[in-house]
Structure 1
């Protein structure tokens, strides 16, 4: 066989040769921007020349502090094909974490969207490795800011050469990097090679994976600053699919309008956005009929949400699972052809699982004793992974690498079950699993069951210490607006009886206005545990599981 390196250069060149007339649509600062893959290609090569002129050399890290837009897509390709490393910065992190990430990666240049300048300005004097700031806007001008000698993205591209000489690239060269969104400790860096990104693209396009097509019109709401927007921009460029980018600070109405106006066929994001868009679609204000599928990831979608989307909107929700360390797609929940005779409710339950392992990867699930668990859908164990797009270590972090990477396997920290068909269901993060009276309780399963209650918008379940039972579950519930003040804690408990094991039923239900979230939209349970530490103290004097008080 030919010694052929798998690099993003081939992905970019294919988009030009086969799909130069296809469109990219972006919600820009001053309105909707449209151009073709042919135009995109020319601007990307200009940008690669800009990077060289700025002194960026092979292996240098280049940061991007940007929303999902066409300029960010140009950076997705220009940085890796020039030999440098694309470092996407999470714009929702606090200043301390941003400073840590930029300095740990030793970013040399940072590209920043104009509306994010205040965030960068506040930390600029703490970034010793950053030599240049480039401001991205839809004009040549740079807004007034306190940064020294910032450069204009559009002005640089206007003056750059349109032909570019590709450097020699190996498929093993680093192409991109992303840091985990740590809720404790400092974030951990993960580096993606060209080879990993290309192979991940191949897997993502498979019919039994994300099932992407050239004819698709794809809207990635999942941030481009987090795990490469699940690899969707790379895969869509390779296929020539129309990409629709939501731009700066998109709200639920913006997403609904973009989907309707541009006939989006596939959208991807976390459950938060699909909960926010659902009432807009249900009311008839916007039309979701162009959607053939929604990809849900980041955290679990409840059965009730999956059911509502399918039955009331006619839109299937596809569950997927991944991590920063896995590039990220690992599991996708599509029913097998042998499951056609399942009842509708059984299909919904299956859809709520994270799904089957994507071709090209290996997994095993081990119990506390280190042995593989039976695939019975009940026994819990930790999910371990390995494969060509799974990281082997954290960037410049040997101590934490040793904890998470064992004998060639990534320890995900996710506690799962596997049924007899091979479908994986996440029971919990290892740190969030509740052990009460020697029995494991899945907070995720409890949350999904509580969210089936017609009055409940969201629910998060945390463990609180108990003197007799070690830990007991506490449910934090957000009610839908129309039900506030009408539902009591006992109503939630009564709803759970018969739907969850008796041991699992929470001792307390706390109604709260909103569930705190991480920068990528996951439940921030550490904040809830801190908030309800007083409730935990109250349980210390109890000899038996408490029952909720209204």
Structure 2
């Protein structure tokens, strides 16, 4: 027996039509050197139609890839909506990839067109001769900013390209399972791997972003999207905002603490999303330059574990709640969100908030031990996290990566436990766990403990060889300016926070913890610095 329900495709075009009409008065605000630049969702819809006509005029047909090399801004939002809606595939290029990685992903995806912001031309231009499939470069704004392209590649201005195009487009009805967008992993080990999102997966993921047990994005919100649009689709915020009618605030290239504070003062966001390092920097800035940021009811933090000290600081000093979440490029990225169960208060509430969060109904999760067996969800048993669901990838684009999947489940590489009521607590990445004397030490737990010290602004922990114990933790710390705190004092600070056998004896003060292209601690580079003698290690 079949249902009587209509089979209506879930598509980006439907999100575009709905947002531009029903929520036409909502706006996308782009920050510039001279302040905010505003475009209504109704006008975004018109400009999307113009962009689609322009891309057709450049010969983009079918599922050809159109790439973006851009900051978060209104033109990037237009590309997010127009390219998939016309049936092509959006490819967000990570502006922070190493040149050889950028060349690899653009060629591997077979990008035909690249839309680039003028300020990013110096990063893109040297790589253009190595891009084998690109035929057109579109520079946002009204000037090509002196860009010289290789022979056979045409350069256009964005505004000039769309200026005379119609403001309506006959959006095709696409198969909801067809490709809408693609994003490559950050490539900390090996070449970046491509994840291709479908219209259906993006639509369902957008609904979860608006759910009350998820980020809870609502029609009246003004969402500050600091998380880059080239990183896991900006955590789904652009599509969810157009679905629900929340206005978007885009910081463009102004991601430093001072301009972010100015954006918050001017635009009064109610919700924001970024990796922990962004909020750590803003918190330190606000200590020296006090400002009311309590317009934000919540900030969503993911990408890496949030230090509990940062959560408490935002709540106590700024009256802003930190919402911890977990996800990956491969999970679109929303996997879990740390909203405590109803009625839980006090220390129990904070324990839930420290976790990576509860899985929604659409994301199944399990833990696998070293013997390949499923372990219990009892909050104690530990294993590697595997997930599956309608917005989780089942493969990588154009590469064989069977070792990353297990009978239809994605192997995340994260190690942790799950409670009976579905809350995930991660202890580490499988490659970062420290195996000392037959026992496991969580680098994440140590980092969070160290960053609880008021004189520590950043801390990253790696395992280093030890003749007796195989591995021991090394802590690389960034101290607050003017601090005279010693490594012995930091070790003493940890003495009542971790087990005695976990206390690190290896310490190094660094100017900055190296970061990956998406702002996470780059422990691969940190290990290389250690092995090459680049760290001045104090052994206690």
Q: Is the aligned partner of 1:214 residue 2:196?
A: no
1:323-344 per-position Cα deviation (integer Å, ceiling 9, x unaligned): 010000001001101413x33x
Q: Which runs of structure 2 are paired with 1:483-522 in the superposition (5 Å)?
A: 483=483, 486-522=484-520
1:361 match: 363
Whether the 8 Å contact between 1:64 and 1:110 is mirrored in structure 2 is: yes
Q: Secondary structure at the match of 2:284?
A: helix
2:17 match: 13
Whether the 8 Å contact between 1:361 and 1:385 is mirrored in structure 2 is: yes
Q: Which runs of structure 2 are paired with 1:365-444 in the superposition (5 Å)?
A: 365-398=367-400, 400=401, 402-444=402-444
2:280 match: 275
1:544 match: none
Q: Which runs of structure 2 are paired with 1:145-544 in the superposition (5 Å)?
A: 145-147=147-149, 149-283=154-288, 285-340=290-345, 342-343=346-347, 346-398=348-400, 400=401, 402-483=402-483, 486-533=484-531
Q: Secondary structure at the match of 2:352?
A: helix
Alpha-carbon spacing, 1:17–1:538, altered in 2? closer, same or farther (3 Å): closer
1:23 match: 27
Whether the 8 Å contact between 2:515 and 2:522 is mirrored in structure 1 is: yes
2:80 match: 76
Find the aligned partners of 2:261 and 2:7 in 1 and give their Cα distance. Answer: 46
Q: CA deviation at 1:312?
A: 1.4
Find the aligned partners of 1:218 and 1:416 in 2 and give their Cα distance. Answer: 31
Whether the 8 Å contact between 1:288 and 1:313 is mirrored in structure 2 is: yes
2:146 match: 144
Whether the 8 Å contact between 1:9 and 1:81 is mirrored in structure 2 is: yes
Q: CA deviation at 1:169?
A: 0.4
Find the aligned partners of 1:176 and 1:316 in 2 and give their Cα distance. Answer: 32
Whether the 8 Å contact between 1:236 and 1:242 is mirrored in structure 2 is: yes
Find the aligned partners of 2:45 and 2:105 in 1 and give their Cα distance. Answer: 30
Q: Secondary structure at the match of 1:45?
A: helix
Q: Secondary structure at the match of 1:372?
A: coil
Q: CA deviation at 1:23?
A: 1.9
Q: CA deviation at 1:405?
A: 1.4
Q: Secondary structure at the match of 1:19?
A: coil
1:266-315 per-position Cα deviation (integer Å, ceiling 9, x unaligned): 01001111011113334453220211000001111101110111111110
Q: Is the aligned partner of 1:43 residue 2:26?
A: no
Q: CA deviation at 1:374?
A: 2.9
Find the aligned partners of 1:477 and 1:35 in 2 and give their Cα distance. Answer: 43
Q: CA deviation at 1:397?
A: 0.4
Q: CA deviation at 1:507?
A: 2.1
2:122 match: 118
Q: CA deviation at 1:415?
A: 0.6
Q: CA deviation at 1:376?
A: 3.6
1:234-275 per-position Cα deviation (integer Å, ceiling 9, x unaligned): 000111111110012421111111112111000100111101
Alpha-carbon spacing, 1:488–1:285, altered in 2? closer, same or farther (3 Å): closer
Find the aligned partners of 1:379 and 1:506 in 2 and give their Cα distance. Answer: 25
Q: Secondary structure at the match of 1:123?
A: helix
Find the aligned partners of 2:45 and 2:83 in 1 and give their Cα distance. Answer: 13
1:322-365 per-position Cα deviation (integer Å, ceiling 9, x unaligned): 1010000001001101413x33xx43333221110022110001
Q: CA deviation at 1:425?
A: 1.1
Q: Secondary structure at the match of 2:349?
A: helix
Find the aligned partners of 2:219 and 2:173 in 1 and give their Cα distance. Answer: 29
2:93 match: 89
What TM-score results when the alignment is normalised by the length of structure 2? 0.96
Return 5+ residue gaps in structure 2 as ranges. none
Q: CA deviation at 1:24?
A: 1.7
Query: Which deviates more, 169-178 or 13-22?
Result: 13-22
Find the aligned partners of 1:538 and 1:24 in 2 and give their Cα distance. Answer: 47
Find the aligned partners of 1:174 and 1:475 in 2 and give their Cα distance. Answer: 43
Q: CA deviation at 1:482?
A: 2.9
Find the aligned partners of 1:417 and 1:489 in 2 and give their Cα distance. Answer: 31
Find the aligned partners of 1:46 and 1:59 in 2 and give their Cα distance. Answer: 19
Q: Secondary structure at the match of 1:156?
A: helix
Query: Which deviates more, 162-171 or 84-93?
Result: 162-171
Q: Secondary structure at the match of 2:22?
A: helix
Whether the 8 Å contact between 2:254 and 2:260 is mirrored in structure 1 is: no
Alpha-carbon spacing, 1:534–1:494, altered in 2? closer, same or farther (3 Å): farther
1:473-525 per-position Cα deviation (integer Å, ceiling 9, x unaligned): 11111111131xx1111111111112101221112111111100101000110
1:542 match: none
Find the aligned partners of 2:249 and 2:448 in 1 and give their Cα distance. Answer: 31
Whether the 8 Å contact between 1:433 and 1:443 is mirrored in structure 2 is: yes
Return 5+ residue gaps in structure 1 as ranges. 540-546
Whether the 8 Å contact between 2:362 and 2:389 is mirrored in structure 1 is: yes
Number of residue pairs matched by the alignment: 533
Query: Which deviates more, 320-329 or 19-28?
Result: 19-28
Find the aligned partners of 1:531 and 1:328 in 2 and give their Cα distance. Answer: 30
After the TM superposition, which segments of 4 or more aligned residues of structure 1 sit over 6 Å from their partners? 534-539
